[in-house]
Amino acid sequence: MEEKIIKTEYSEVMQKSYIDYAMSVIIARALPDARDGLKPVQRRVLYDMHELGIKYDKPYRKSARIVGDTMGKYHPHGDSSIYEALVVMTQEFKKGLPLVDGHGNFGNIEGDGAAAMRYTEARLQRITQEAFLSDLDKDVVDFFPNFDETEKEPTVLPAKFPNLLVNGSEGIAVGMATSIPPHNLGEVVDAVKAFMLDETITTEGLMKYIKGPDFPTGGIVTNKDELKEIYETGTGKIKVRGKVDIEKGKAGKTNVVISEIPYPMIGANISKFLMDVAALSESKKTQDIVDISNQSSKEGIRIVIELRKDADVDNFVNMLYKKTRLEDTFGVNMLAIADGRPEIMSLKQIIKHNVDFQFQVATRKYTTLLAKEREKKEIQEGLIKACNVIDLIIEILRGSKDRAMAKACLVEGKVEGIKFRSKESKIMAAQLRFTDKQANAILEMRLYKLIGLELEALINEHEETMANIYRYEDILDRRASMAQVIINELEEIRRNYSVPRKTVIENVAEAVYVEKKIEEMEVMFLMDRFGYARCIDIATYERNKEAADNENKYIFSCKNTGKICLFTNTGQLHTVKVMDIPFGKFRDKGVPIDNISNFNGEKEIVIAAASQTSLNLYRLIFVTKQAMMKVVDGGEFDVAKRTVAATKLADDDEVVSVAVLNEQKQIVLQSKDGYFLKFGVEEIPEKKKNAIGVRGMKLTGTDHIENVYYLCSGVENTVEYRDKSLDLHKLKAAKRDGKGTKIRV
């Protein structure tokens, strides 16, 4: 075979391949169909359970059997995704109307996962059979070949209500995502009926029936007035709060009890909520909390927060709304597959798609039923007619040589070769004109059908068939009749399966939390050489001054309402709120500075200010290892970010010293090789923070700046250099960018 090489643009191949992949994920994996509200994997699981006969009144079957059969026949994408879909369809806290009845550990609202599929069992819910699968044998939907063309599967299930609204949906595709909240079944049915009776109904009209989302976890939707726009556009944000009750506790204390949680809090977010509440107490945001306990069980959510006697309960609850996920947002993006393509739909569009689908299903259903009734009518009329001339029929059967001869006589009146008892019988036989189906039914008829009661039953059955034909023709010919049939089915579903609304819909003012004003006071910041930081009051420091000075690397005073500025050798500035630093006793260990800042293995150089904004009052001197220097206005560091670049550094350079320029008159640079250079501070130019600066000292070879000293008028400044005292004031003053004086010891 001759090799054929096709030349094409690589970019075109990649583009086509990516689009094919994206559409496969969008259409066949991640997004639900607007008609039945199911993703392909969910539809395949339900259809497979239907095929396996795992009905609501039959025993449970192992989940592993269901998953394996679904994967082998319809969904070759891995057992974990199939089992996850099965699990979600059983969870009452995620679905407004679970479609699968699970037996065993299928996870819980607090985020614990389901047991392995070999341990759990499942079967269909009754409503799933009645509202999704019952009419599949009536040719109501199209079937298409499965992945290996050995089986057939439905393109969509004939759902009898808008499941997309009732159960909602969440999914992430390529470049798009869907997020549809669940709604109350009874309200949705009422809205569908209203739409069918008046297709010009507005969103506002539909919202007289559908008040808003109805989350399985209950809660309170607080932005009722915004729901109209959300339902008209298909996008928006729904604000949900948990339900809080106030109970009397022991010894006059107050218990704040959370009995319902926001829908987005399902799972691990409950644990995070408990940790966030504990963190509020640990960080001194509130001192009202005495105890926190999670008393949730199968009966429902119950989280109890015990407060002090004199606590401001309303302010505390508002703090929970503002500082934790007790008030959360559900992002709405009502995206689904409609007419083969993804589309963001309004509430009315979703209902319209489902209603149009209901009419399509009903048309196909009653067309199939009408054809079956007409076939029954034909056979019944043939049998009744045959019973009226039963003697002639028997004579034909006895006189015929074979079945074909008898059938030819019944259908076409051919009497050749048949022995008759009289000429009259032969003449009558020649006049017979049964249809082919009637002739087969007559030839297969049993003798007991000739009993009088059986004949009467046959006539009654024929009358019933005629009534059915008339009814089905009326349904197919008149849209109003078909609409009434659909409405009757919806009312039956509502009567059997609707439940009271769980979520409260109202307009609630935004929670106002008034933080207790912290009394501003001067404190001492202490950090030892291991990086453990803490704050103590001034009086405690004065009593332990000698020990504090010996044991700590950095010591300075600051306001408890301010921030600590931490400059590092890599040229970064980290800011830390003083309130985040533990305040306690002198012998307390403190907290690692890494835990409350963005430090990552850097060597810290610390200066302090009463508050970050007060840096505007200062200028800072930067000195680097390669002797680059500059003065920077402190206002440049008044930023909101916790970490910013404080200076620009050359390659292989690092910051050696950062100091507040206050009353210093001179600066002394000391190099590693023992050179000292003293010059006036006024020689250092002021630069922007993103400048490298100017050279302060000429260095040779591998020499570099090791220490920086600042001199003030009238203040002695003696340092230890190589085990000997050196008075820096006695050094000869020079100019910046000199080599300095070599100190020999």
What's the one-letter identity of residue 13? V
Instruction: Output the CA–CA distances (angstroms, integers) from residue 192 to 196, 213, 478, in the order listed.
Output: 6, 16, 19
- Kindly give, in sequence order, each residue whose CB lies less than 8 Å from that of residue 576, ignoring residues fewer than 6 positions away: 563, 564, 566, 593, 596, 597, 642
DSSP, residue by residue, 49-82: HHHHT--TTS--EEHHHHHHHHHHHT--S-HHHH
Distance of alpha carbon 193 from alpha carbon 184, whole angstroms? 14
* Cα–Cα distance, 176 to 197 (Å, whole number): 34
Give yes or no for a contact between 541 and 552, defined as CB atoms under 8 angstroms apart.
no
Contact 697, 735 (CB under 8 A): no
Rounded to whole angstroms, the Cα distance separating 91 from 88 reads: 5
- Alpha-carbon distance 409 to 454, whole Å? 26
The sign of the torsion formed by the CA atoms of 31, 34, 37, 42 equals negative
Q: Which residue carries 């009502």 as its tokens?
A: 334
How far apart are the C-alpha atoms of 7 and 714, rounded to whole Å? 86
At 270, the amino acid letter reads I
Contact yes or no for 558/596 (Cβ under 8 A): no
Residue 47, C-beta contacts closer than 8 angstroms, at least 6 positions apart = 74, 133, 136, 153, 154, 157
Please report the sign of the dihedral spanned by the C-alpha atoms of residue 624, residue 628, residue 633, residue 638.
negative
Rounded Cα gap, residues 168 and 347, in angstroms = 12
Nearest CA-CA partner of 486 in 213, 158, 182? 158
Which H/E stretch holds residue 526?
Answer: strand 522-528
* 18 part of the active site: no
Active-site residue (options: 18, 21, 56, 119):
119
Which residues does residue 628 pair with via DSSP β-bridges, in sequence order? 695
DSSP letters spanning 606-648: EEE-SSGGGGGG-EEEEEETT-EEEEEEGGGG--SSSEEE---
Task: Please state, in angstroms and rounded to a whole number, the distance separating the CA atoms of residues 539 and 522.
Answer: 10
- The per-type count for the chain, helices as H runs and strands as E runs, is 20, 35
Which strand (E) or helix (H) includes residue 579? Answer: none
Specify whether the backbone of 601 is left (phi greater than 0), alpha (psi in -120 to 50) or beta: left
Q: What is the largest CA-CA distance in the chain?
A: 156
Q: Tell me, what amino acid is at 419?
A: K
Token code pair at residue 295: 């008393």
Beta-bridged to residue 741, according to DSSP, are 676
Output Rg (C-alpha) for the chain, integer angstroms: 42
Instruction: Tell me which residues are annotated as active site.
Output: 119
